[in-house]
């Protein structure tokens, strides 16, 4: 596996692959890789001739300076894992390689970015679109792989491709990977103590349990039950829980409104912000 930090070097490599008629797969990450990322990389390796994994903590998608500063960075360990998984290139650029000049582009994903994470993290999805589009332009992939844990992000990236000219690129959504306890894998889990990780299991447990009570409760009652159940656990506070149409991301008020209801949640455990979702 080759580790590349210069955009120009990667572009030359991609041109060579394309001249040979090879398919290129991209797995965009912010590093601190775990088994969730590994599942994406394995799928990318299996489905493409060349697998490129980017490792870049993108500053433009953080609206909280402390969150950016404390985001875990483990490049050496990440590269060892990627090599063991069969990735061909780890792209680990500096900020000035991705943004040689300030990126002032503004993207519009209405109404997808006006709900859930949108109001809570102003500018976040615009930053995601900036970096992902840059990575697409640099690597020119045939397929790109994203985890369904970031459910809203995945929907917005699909919309970006439709709306901003990446129509030939296949976006592959991959299922959430969980620990045996049910806790969704996340790079932010590295910031949790052992006792906090045990507490965090309450998030997925409440979501799974809510599937069992869905038939006896309406949407509003189900939402309130999940919020009350998690808030009753010492140390956790729900920022929001929405049950939405999985295609439009718009909140529903009746189960009959959609055949694809998805519950999306954000919870603070101490100062660590955790997200998860469940398909009803």
Separation CA 82–CA 4 (nearest Å): 13
Taking residues 204-233, what's their average pLDDT? 97
Of 250, 254, 29, nearest in space to 264 by CA:
250
Catalytic residues: 37
Taking residues 151-162, what's their average pLDDT? 98
* pLDDT tens-digit series, residues 107-155: 999 999 999 999 999 999 999 999 999 999 999 999 999 999 999 999 9
Confidence of residue 275 (pLDDT cuts 50, 70, 90): very high
Residue 64 in this model has a pLDDT that exceeds 90: no
Please give the share of the chain, as a percent, with pLDDT higher than 70: 100
Residue 63 in this model has a pLDDT that exceeds 90: no
Half-sphere exposure (CA, 13 Å, Cβ side) for 72? 17
Confidence of residue 103 (pLDDT cuts 50, 70, 90): very high
Taking residues 87-101, what's their average pLDDT? 97
Q: What is the pLDDT of residue 217?
A: 96
Would you tell me how many other CB atoms lie within 10 Å of the CB of residue 69? 8
Taking residues 195-208, what's their average pLDDT? 98
Query: Based on the number of CB atoms within 10 Å of its own CB, is 154 exposed (0-12), middle (13-18) or buried (19 or more)?
Result: middle
Taking residues 189-212, what's their average pLDDT? 96
Tokens of 166: 């990446």
Q: What is the pLDDT of residue 79?
A: 98
């Amino acid at each position: 596996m080759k580790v590349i930090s210069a955009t120009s070097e990667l572009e030359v490599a991609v041109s060579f692959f394309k001249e040979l008629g090879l398919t290129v797969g991209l797995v965009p990450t912010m590093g601190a890789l775990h088994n969730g990322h590994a599942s994406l990389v394995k799928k990318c390796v299996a489905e493409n001739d060349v697998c490129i994994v980017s490792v870049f903590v993108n500053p433009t998608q953080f609206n909280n300076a402390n969150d950016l500063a404390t985001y875990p960075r483990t490049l050496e360990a990440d590269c060892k894992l990627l090599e063991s998984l069969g990735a061909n290139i780890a792209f680990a650029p500096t900020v000035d390689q991705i943004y040689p000049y300030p990126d002032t582009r503004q993207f519009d994903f209405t109404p997808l970015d006006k709900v859930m994470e949108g109001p809570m993290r102003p500018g976040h999805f615009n930053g995601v679109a900036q970096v992902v589009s840059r990575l697409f332009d640099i690597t020119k992939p045939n397929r790109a792989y994203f985890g369904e844990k970031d459910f809203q992000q995945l929907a917005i990236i699909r919309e970006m491709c439709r709306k901003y000219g990446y129509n030939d690129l296949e976006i592959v959504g991959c299922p959430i990977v969980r620990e045996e306890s049910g806790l969704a894998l996340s790079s932010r889990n590295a910031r949790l103590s052992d006792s906090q990780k045990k507490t965090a299991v309450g998030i997925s447990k409440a979501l799974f349990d809510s599937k069992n009570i869905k038939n006896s409760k309406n949407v509003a009652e189900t939402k309130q039950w999940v919020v009350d159940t998690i808030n009753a656990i010492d140390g956790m506070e729900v920022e929001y829980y929405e049950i939405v149409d999985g295609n439009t991301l718009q909140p529903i008020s009746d189960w009959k409104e959609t055949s694809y209801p998805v519950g999306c949640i954000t919870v603070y455990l101490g100062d660590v912000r955790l997200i998860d979702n469940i398909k009803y």
